[in-house]
Amino acid sequence: MNTSQAKTAEETFFGSQFGAAKLDTKIERAGREAEWILERLTPAPRVLDLGCGRGRLSIALRARGATVTGLDINGDYLRTAEERAEAAELSIAWRQGSFLELADEESFDGIVSMFTSFGYHDEDGNAEVLRRVSRALVPGGVFVLEVLHRDAPGMLQGDVTLERTPEGVEILKERSVDLLTSRRTLRFRYLSGDTVRDGGELVVRMYALHELVALFKRFGLDVEEVHSNARGAAFTPESEHIVLVGRRIVAS
């Protein structure tokens, strides 16, 4: 695993504070998500976790029999993921890089991109990621994608909130939206009294359901299921997230 690249804006935002406060708090649900995903794949599948972070889902998938590759741009997260996998005596291939560098061809039975790991490039760049995902799947392979649902109530409005995690970390969250581009700017500040300890800013593309469906079809992915999370909850107009399950079309 090569972790010598310079840090990007994504890495600055997704720092150790974010990982502890927003990623590790979701570890407990990883097992249910892994089982739900594996139900849609062939037995003993080869799975790529796109935006694997600190290994939450990769480790759960591997523990349930999948052969797993975890890809992330954040070297710090990958080091943590590798340590956790080794502690669990699980073998996972960790790779550092941008989604735009994904060059695999028909290598995976399933690809997953969870917790809004998609949407950080311009329109052409996001489309290119999906093209590469489709190419990396075997015919009949499955892509599970989770993104922010643009049309959920309140999603197109900015706000400022103060959140306290179960560990006692205070997070000042500022959200603003560009209505012309459907992009949300997230600005996090981690507080200790009156002192700002850490933070960062990130811009992510939100999607309407019909936009995602059109992108999937454009790159040969047949949409089979739509949910609000990767545990099978029904999708409604009020859902803040879209989880789309698409299968690479098998040429006739």
Tokens of 20: 């502890």
Q: In the prediction, which pLDDT does 235 show? A: 98
End-to-end CA distance of the chain: 39
* Percent with pLDDT over 70 in the chain: 85
- Mean pLDDT, residues 101-129 taken together: 95
pLDDT of 134:
98
* Of 206 and 193, the one with more pLDDT: 206
- pLDDT at residue 4 is higher than 70: no
Output the six-digit token pair for 40: 């849609």
Read off the pLDDT of residues 86-96 as tens digits, 9 standing for 90 and up. 999 999 999 99
Encoding tokens for residue 139? Answer: 């015919």
For residue 193, name the pLDDT band (cuts at 50, 70, 90): low
Q: Burial of 63 by CB count in 10 Å (0-12 exposed, 13-18 middle, 19+ buried)?
A: middle
Q: Which of 111-120, 123-132, 206-215 has the lowest mean pLDDT?
A: 111-120
Q: What is the model's pLDDT at position 166?
A: 67
Chain-wide mean pLDDT for the chain?
88
